[in-house]
Structure 1
Amino acid sequence: MSDITFKNTRFEPDLVDFHGIAQQMAKSVGYTADMAVEKQLAQLLRLRVAQINACSYCLILHTKAAHDQGIHPAKVAHLQSWQESTLFSAAEQAALGYCEALTDYTPAAFASLHEAMTEYFAETEIAEAAAIVINMNLWTRLKLAQGATPVLES
């Protein structure tokens, strides 16, 4: 990511530090946090939220982070179509469904998807997965509000 920078098109960076605000909020559920949720699954959830919300900043950052976490490149490339895939375990599928339902809240589906999580995850892990998804939704909204637009440096 060293050849890509981001231009803030909506706010003056010297006046509003959106990145700093988001960093403060992310300390407890960011990708350096110590959690019960498996690190690769947490990264898949972050990347899926970035995809759903079409956040360029988060897509670039979390695609790289997924590769750095050792997630197979085919899983990263195929994440958007996880429902049509055999690359994801049943537990990952339950978590991704939960992630999508929480990101684009659909009351009718949410309760059953939350219940499906209990088959694979302890209550603490479910709460952490929810926090990861909520945190990523916050990050994507902040970066979209900021207008974080990628610029390829030549």
Structure 2
Amino acid sequence: MAFRFTVAADAPSLYTPMLAITKAIRGSGLPTGLIHLIDLRVSQINGCTYCIDMHSKEARHDGQSDQRIAAVAEWERSDLFLPDERAAFAWAEVLTRTQHDRIDEAYRELQRHFTAEQIAQLTATVAQINAWNRIGIAQHIEGTAVGMAA
């Protein structure tokens, strides 16, 4: 893998707290499988191939079927996801794509399935994977696999 730079090596004082936030999110109480699926969907939107691969593998390891993993890209047209997962995907997409016109609707649907604490956790999850995606895309040289720990 070829890199322009790596945050882990070139800015470890910033990389370490980002990794700590990722670990805190995974220990937040949200279902790990849901976190991996959100990370996968956001990575698909952002085009971070390393993260797409990594989160697909993590989701599979946590018991998600290949069919569900493959369907994440078209979750809106799939009947494989529960209403709470669909609400989480919609929230992730609204935040990642900065769709101000859809945020209130997505939030109302989230409230039907999640507590305020869980909504805050989901929001941090989306923000964190967006940050990792941007780091991964920035540090990798085109034509190589993206490398980072997320």
TM-score, with length taken from structure 2: 0.86
Question: Which residue of 114, 126, 133 maps to 1:121?
Answer: 114
Q: Hey, what's the Cα distance between the residues in 2 that align with 1:29 and 1:14?
A: 14
Matches within 5 A, 1:69-88: 69-88=62-81
| Aligned residue among 96, 116, 122 for 1:103 | 96
Counterpart residue identity of residue 130, structure 2: N
Deviation at 1:26, TM superposition (A): 3.3
Superposed displacement of residue 106, structure 1: 0.8
Residues 12-59 of structure 1 deviation map (CA, whole Å, 9 limit, x = unaligned): 7896257x8445313233487311211111111011111000001111
* Higher RCO by CA contacts (8 Å cutoff, separation 6 or greater): 1
Cα distance in 2 for residues equivalent to 1:76 and 1:31: 24
Which is richer in helix? 2
1:147 deviates by: 1.4
Gaps in structure 2 of 5+ consecutive residues: none
CA distance in 1: counterparts of 2:99 and 2:25, whole angstroms: 30
Aligned CA-pair RMSD: 2.3
1:27 aligns with 2:20: yes
CA distance in 2, matches of 1:124, 1:133: 14
What residue number does 1:11 align with? Answer: 5
Tell me which residue corresponds to 2:124: 131
Alpha-carbon offset, residue 101 of structure 1: 0.3
Gaps of 5+ in 1: 1-5
TM-score relative to the length of structure 1: 0.84
Percentage of identical aligned residues:
28
Structure with more strand by fraction: 1
Partner of 1:90: 83
The code of the aligned residue for 1:110 comes to I
Aligned residue identity for 1:63? S
The answer on whether the counterparts of 1:29 and 1:128 sit within 8 Å (CA) in structure 2 is no
2 CA distance for matches of 1:15 and 1:134?
22
Q: Given residue 41 of structure 1, which amino acid in structure 2 is its aligned partner?
A: L
Structure 1 runs of 4+ off > 3 angstroms?
12-15, 20-23, 29-32
